[in-house]
Chains A and B, each alone.
Chain A
Amino acid sequence: DAGVTQSPTHLIKTRGQQVTLRCSPKSGHDTVSWYQQALGQGPQFIFQYYEEEERQRGNFPDRFSGHQFPNYSSELNVNALLLGDSALYLCASSLAGGQNTDTQYFGPGTRLTVL
């Protein structure tokens, strides 16, 4: 049973560029959440996708956008990169509906460095 996978593992960009990160959820899961983990901090919620729609969003600017595909995989896009966007980006998948099935399982993350 494949867990949550993310690509790429590492990414280096320069300020002003755009980046796309990808996530495939755990088999059987239909909801994907994205988190940003800055160095030395806990993960911060960016947004969550279910049924190909953004269900909720954290306190992140519009430069951060996402998409969910019919196969439940998801992309995170960040435009006009800033130095402060350097972080580990974590994808988590879960199964909507039913309190006991809403545990989020995390992928290994994508390390983004902005120079």
Chain B
Amino acid sequence: AQSVTQLGSHVSVSEGALVLLRCNYSSSVPPYLFWYVQYPNQGLQLLLKYTSAATLVKGINGFEAEFKKSETSFHLTKPSAHMSDAAEYFCAVRADRGSTLGRLYFGRGTQLTVWP
């Protein structure tokens, strides 16, 4: 079975500070992993994805994430937060075999607040 745990439902940082959003996954097969961002009253926008190529994945808006198999983690980082980064962030895992092909399992989300 696949699942995702996002540690910390709320994260607050100052503008210019490091952003670190944590995601741990559980998967019985090699996973595909995703980070999505959701701005208020909008759908989900893909930030980046890991599909078993390079373990350090770069996404849009200066975000990146590192896949660590030994820690079953896929944490999202950004060196310097911007006010426009304030949003909700979701980590998701995709099962890649069998009847659950293509289905995404989401974490509960982390609300990022950026203070001026």
What is A's interface to B at a CB cutoff of 8 Å?
Answer: 4, 6, 31, 33, 35, 40-45, 48, 55-56, 58, 90, 92, 94, 96, 99-100, 102-109, 111
Contacts and interface: CB of A to CB of B under 8 A. Distances in A.
B80 interface: no
B36 A106 contact: yes
A90 B46 CA distance: 14
A31 B43 contact: no
Interface of B: 4, 32, 34, 36, 41-46, 49, 51, 90, 92, 94, 96, 99-109
Contacts of B49: 103
A90 B102 CA distance: 15
29 contacts: A35-B104, A35-B106, A40-B109, A41-B109, A42-B4, A42-B90, A42-B92, A42-B106, A43-B44, A43-B104, A43-B106, A45-B103, A48-B102, A56-B99, A56-B101, A56-B103, A90-B43, A99-B51, A99-B96, A102-B32, A102-B94, A102-B101, A103-B49, A106-B36, A106-B43, A106-B44, A108-B43, A109-B43, A111-B41
A100 B94 CA distance: 12
Given A42-B107, A43-B104, 9 more contacts: A4-B43, A6-B43, A33-B104, A35-B104, A43-B90, A48-B103, A55-B102, A90-B44, A108-B43
A106 B45 contact: yes
Contacts of A58: 103
Contacts of B108: 40-42
Given A42-B108, A42-B109, A106-B36, A33 B102 contact: yes
Nearest to B111: A40
Nearest to A94: B102
> Taking each of B32, B49, B101, B104, which has the highest tally of chain A beta carbons within 10 Å of its own beta carbon?
B104
